[in-house]
Structure 1
């Protein structure tokens, strides 16, 4: 039995309230809070990047045993900090994991962390006495006053994969699909993504529908075999758009259960925003931490991972006995409750602040005064990124 033994998320200490942003933009707040299902959006200070967020998510999980037995570190990201050096190599150093671990990044839009999880599960099945650290970490940016502004966000999810996991066993059968399309992409020369929103929504729904048919055919499983389905959530209404069509012929009791648990799975994303590769696993944490009273061991959870461009996969897992004892619900509630609500002016200033690197590749700065995280980005020296730890 191999699966997720521990799981945690991190998001920056600052956010913008989307009702306030809507009023400032001259938009009906319901368009954001009801139309796409978002309430708050995490906004990272310059001292938080893909590396520091990944370290902040992983650090609370690690025991001495983990540090000595993690032989694989995989980071899924589409907002890496270097065109060559992996985020995982920074993480290996910052977390002081033993020197003989393999450390790599995987990139395919929002699918990267799922590719990493599957790689890690296969690795541990071959090496049952070893563990793997899988991280999805990203900053989603489309620009101020852009059409995608309210589907931005920032955060990271870290998972330890092991034999005899304490949270969920990943089942062996999964189905993936690839089509080369341009629904969302970011050329190397662009700081923000290019999005065909309508086409992207259609592709997401189509991929889920096709994969569900194929998955059902290969496994002979139906929706009655599932207690919940977790989705990649660029915004919280997206997964529901894909789920509803396959629920049309379901018995009311099963339909109601899946829709109720879907709502539980959206709570964290609603208050954090789109975190790209970590989004699906943020959904999973939201589900098991908010619906824990109704979920029990052996309940099957479905996962739909989608990365524009496009690659998607349906896979499943079964909750294990005692999974509730390994959840970090109180820590997550504290993290979200203690965040700072930015004014529109502060949001604009924080969003537009950039590194001003001189010809020698230098720009060092102090940790942002709002940033209370353990790991933080300090700037560059001789073109090398530097990180601090509190």
Structure 2
């Protein structure tokens, strides 16, 4: 597509966009009577307008049924998570039996590592990307310490080459092969939070399995953003938050994936709880944990009804939109337009003030662009905020902007570019 840096072009694209209608189903932040241009769905998705209605329905169930709400009403809480499983599965390329909504992301990462990080002999190491989100780093460090290892010895981090911002797949695979007899677990983030790089999950998973390792993924920035095929790629396990691209609200419920090939593996450790016990016999209150079939067997506590209701509200919109494929098609073009607009700002300024460190190839990125300002980055970010453009800042020097296909428009992108140019001129000229 030949892009144009004009409002008329942006509006024409929005008029032709079959997903543009979904924008009206979300609430945009407003200050002093003016809506923000919201480009921060990579951090927290917007609230679906239907969320309050869906949540009220469960509050009414609580009011009308009290404890009997677990079994009575149109949506008994005992089985509520099953409604979400049907809608979660297409988003991550899984069967409903392989996914389950539960807990929060890092809690689930720990629970899954209890099962899938089983160091034995000299095969005790975990390989991960350097510069992973801190929560992943802390979880993995604490897991290896729990098993009695020194993180400096047990964790292999793969960093970009000197002078580069992103990793090469061949370098990741080479490190896996180089440490083939020592790696117990390959554990990467699907999309790196800082650079926005989408790793070649299929290739990395295959490389891990070829050396006999377990492969897991943190899909915090990937689930609901890019098409993943967890079942077909034979990923062993994965987990993700739902409050970014899946709009479940701050601290929203997490999701897990466990490949069906592990369902009957009785050698797996797990931290068990009542809600993971075999459903048909759960209320017999018997000793001796017998897990429910599938991913549900990793549950510990009972259904978190209110957070699930908020997630349910967003998942129904995904279903209306056709799940990931239509969204991905728009996301590729919308992100390319954002890239074009940032480069147009550089042209107008007369130099490369803004360097995009996210890979240019759409196959290597999702909706997020990570941008480093040559000068006054934090000041410019604050200027965007003051002018109703909301992205986010990540230390030490990155502005992250994410045009989410469910609710962002080409006009959003164009207008954000106009603000970026104005703010940059005002700040750089005033120096």
Q: Do they fold alike, i.e. is TM over 0.5?
A: no
TM-score w.r.t. length of structure 1: 0.28
Length-normalised TM-score, structure 2? 0.26
Higher strand content, 1 or 2: 1
